[in-house]
Amino acid sequence: PTASSAIIYDGERGRIFCVNQDSDTISAVDPVALEKTGELAVYKNPEALALAPDGKLWVLHKDDYAIAIVNPDTMTVERGFRLPYASQPVGLVMSPTGDAAYVTLMAVGKLLKLDPMTGDVLAQADVGPSPRGVSVSADGAQVFVTRFVSQVTGGEVAVVDAATLAVKNRYQLAPDTTTLDTDQKGRGLPNFLFSVGLTPDGREGWVTGKKDNIFRGLKRDGLNLTQDNTVRPMVSVLNLAETTESLTNRIALDDRDLPTYVEFSPLGDYA
């Protein structure tokens, strides 16, 4: 499976590429020496990277609503093309089958399917408000899209059929109202869902985000909000076979920054 990310590994060239949002550049890094081998100025606010089937590096830009096509051998921008005006594209992924690229447009609630060679729009789908993360199953048949900003009813991950771009299912990440608020865990509403990491065996999807404790407060349950019980980083686990969330397998990340991506080892025994 593949997933949108701000950092990728190019096995053919033995290079890591990453975006530098604050400086509007991308960098190439030697993964053995851990040294930067190059840096290239691109467009405004690069968000995600993907390697196309022809070996070119696609760089997605949120503020410039554009994609730059980079030659990774020469570290030059060969061309670029625009996406819909002010659409805030944030997620970019190539299908493992090499027949499509997918882009999430957060401002307009759409998923685009692009030709991976030309960048032409092949189809588009309305997936709901604030779509962000986008991942594709190993067979290229299913596209998983996270809703970045939740409703009060819970977080949401949409599953889109790659062939028709119809929404097949929506995973509902239920609010946690029962966990005891402590310095290590707590209640909360799943929110800021960044991405879905799909396991190699296709059985699970790990969703990164946080829980906002909207159930605590002097006007809610009579308890003060505290440093430990306002927000809580978390990972939700989707059971893809049963198309439900495995609530008992939710992971609380104690006192950590916002989790954004999950990458699995080739055997799926480490995340």
Neighbour count for residue 204 (Cβ, 10 Å): 20
Residue 168 dihedral angles phi and psi, to the nearest 5°:
-90, -30
Q: Which two tokens stand for residue 116?
A: 């991976």
pTM over 0.85: yes
pLDDT in tens, the chain (271 residues): 999 999 999 999 999 999 999 999 999 999 999 999 999 999 999 999 999 999 999 999 999 999 999 999 999 999 999 999 999 999 999 999 999 999 999 999 999 999 999 999 999 999 999 999 999 999 999 999 999 999 999 999 999 999 999 999 999 999 999 999 998 889 999 999 999 999 999 999 999 999 999 999 999 999 999 988 899 999 999 999 999 999 999 998 876 688 999 999 999 999 9
In this prediction, residue 189 carries a pLDDT of 96
* The pair of three-digit structure tokens given for residue 222, joined into one six-digit string: 């009579």
User: Which tokens sit at 181?
Assistant: 């608020």
Determine the 3-state secondary structure of 248 from DSSP.
Answer: helix
